[in-house]
Chains A and B, each alone.
Chain A
Amino acid sequence: MGSPRGEVTPFASLFPVDEAHKAVKRVEEKIAEKQKEMDHLKEFIADNNSIINLVSKLPEELHHDIMVPFGKAAFFPGRLIHTNEFVVLLGEGYYAERTSKQTADILKRRGKALDSQVESLKANIKDLKAEASFFDTTASEAAEGLVEIREDYVDEDLGEEHFESALKGKGESPGLNEKTRMVEDDDEYTRLMARLDELEKEELAAEDDDESIEDDPVANGALEDANEQKEQSNTIESDTVNSEHFQNAISGDLLLYQTHSMQRKPQEQEKIEDVAAEALSNKYQSDLSLNDEQNRTGSTIQPLPKAEKLSSKSSTHETKRHLRNEKASVLPEGKIEAMSSATQPVHMQSARPPSNSSKTEASQSGFDSSKAFTGSIVERSTDVLTTKSATLPPSDSQSKPSRPVSRFKMQRR
């Protein structure tokens, strides 16, 4: 069941790189034009305001001594008289003689009209910028050689491991039949994954009663395989914007991620009971939701990725992709070791903030197991893990790799 049965379309053929670049330039030119117009309007507004001031100040004196211009190149010394009477151009050659206050009102109304023009221009510019950035990312993606893979959706049995394949370009409408899958070449690995899935299911059954928020994805994951997968693929597809960034950000975190998956297995094995610390779990949930997202494999059926954590989703994808890439090299060493070397991550995760109680950890870990990322597990030296765990930003999508570590650590405790 490993080979994708779909069509592979290189992105470059759909959106030629050159044209994408040209489109970007065109849109940027338009943006520049609109920007100039906006500057114009802003000047007018500034002028308007200064005149409103002047018009209000003039009546303070009976006369003002001024230099009266005579054409463009000559002046007469003179004085302003009738300082409360203003002649205002209404347009089309019509003038109105008004007092200072009335003139100020006219000018204020003009200012409001200008303001609304500026607002509409701003909205215009914003749209154009979004368009430009879309073209830009499309161009860069096409240049990188991303491919779009379309496959018929087939409901797979739970025993198989599905990894998300190369991410699609952004902007593709999620086809109903699309599913991303990684090629599973290794039989041993498949068996391992199957076993993990079974353990997952058992844990899910155990978790259903205890967890509140986490229950939702868990329950859904257990019940609605097809929907989950579709949703996952949908979220995956909508994450294209983030996918690139995550790819780069997480490329170095592959090891950590693998370690995390390593934790997962011990979790399953231990069948950690979900403690009824729902409040804690909820709080932890919000903190680590990203982690959860990350743990979920796009292809595994059980966990249902949270819709709101799209970014984490994409990172999950990325990590999965990396995992897959490294699978060949890692598997031979990591597979069996993962099961037995669960203790190692524990030390690494000591850096985890102590806010998480063991209960939370336990529930978290239980929650993790339901997510069931069963990517290749790699045994890594402690150095890598410690450095990883040392870089824990608070609930940041970039910090996902560290999350699994900590969770595992807590579970260990």
Chain B
Amino acid sequence: MEKRQQEKIQKFEEFVDSRLKPDLVRAIGERDKVFEQQKIFVDLRRNIENLEKNSVTSLRTLVNLGSEVYVQADVPDTQRIFVDVGLGFHVEFTWSEALNFISLREEKIARQIEEYTLQIASIKTQIKLVYEGIRELMELPAEKPPPQRIF
């Protein structure tokens, strides 16, 4: 009995380590990527709102040529802005159109993040399940839920 139990426990542990944990790591990585995207669009929106607020028509910037070598660049007309809409396309927008698009984009990104969060949660619960199973096999006392305050 002991031996079989040990084997089962080992199998469970292996399952957790080789399947569930990498899945968890991967899902978290994907969600982080989407977070970055979200951040980019949030920044862009803020910048455009700033431009609008200050009625900036022309712009002087430093453009990175790569390897942190910058060259001065001048933007004579800031009314036209090209925004990346995915699949390698950039669409010419005015400010208001750009803002519109960005808010749509942000919604989409938020939904994606939600999905990933759900996925991560499910993987976490699976891991917890397996651990509980192992604990039962080893007949250790079950974990108490964290003490909750009762109001």
Contacts and interface: CB of A to CB of B under 8 A. Distances in A.
Interface of A: 47-48, 50-51, 54-55, 58, 66-83, 85-89, 95, 103, 107
Given A73-B83, A75-B81, A87 B40 contact: no
B69 interface: yes
Contacts of A55: 65, 69
11 contacts: A58-B71, A69-B63, A70-B47, A74-B81, A74-B83, A75-B90, A76-B80, A79-B73, A82-B71, A87-B69, A89-B68
B67 A83 contact: no
A107 B81 contact: no
Interface in B51-66: 59, 61-63, 65-66
Given A68-B63, A74-B83, A76-B81, A85 B69 contact: no
Contacts of B98: 74
B43 interface: yes
Given A70-B47, A71-B40, A81 B82 contact: no
Interface residues of B, number: 30
A145 B80 CA distance: 78
Contact of B72 (A48, A51, A81, A88): A81
Contact of B66 (A47, A80, A103): A47
B72 A85 contact: yes
B73 A80 contact: yes
Interface of B: 40-41, 43-44, 47, 59, 61-63, 65-78, 80-84, 90, 98
A164 B78 CA distance: 88
Contacts of A103: 69
A72 to B, nearest CB: 5
Task: List the 3 closest pairs (A to B, CB-CB), nearest first.
Answer: A89-B68, A78-B75, A87-B70
Count chain B CB atoms within 10 A of each CB in A50, A69, A76 and give the residue with the most. Answer: A76
Given A70-B44, A74-B44, A75-B81, A80 B76 contact: no
A72 B33 CA distance: 14
Contacts of B47: 70-71
A346 B98 CA distance: 96
Given A47-B67, A69-B63, A70-B44, A77 B83 contact: no
Contact of A73 (B44, B70, B73, B75): B44
A78 B74 contact: yes
A85 B76 CA distance: 19
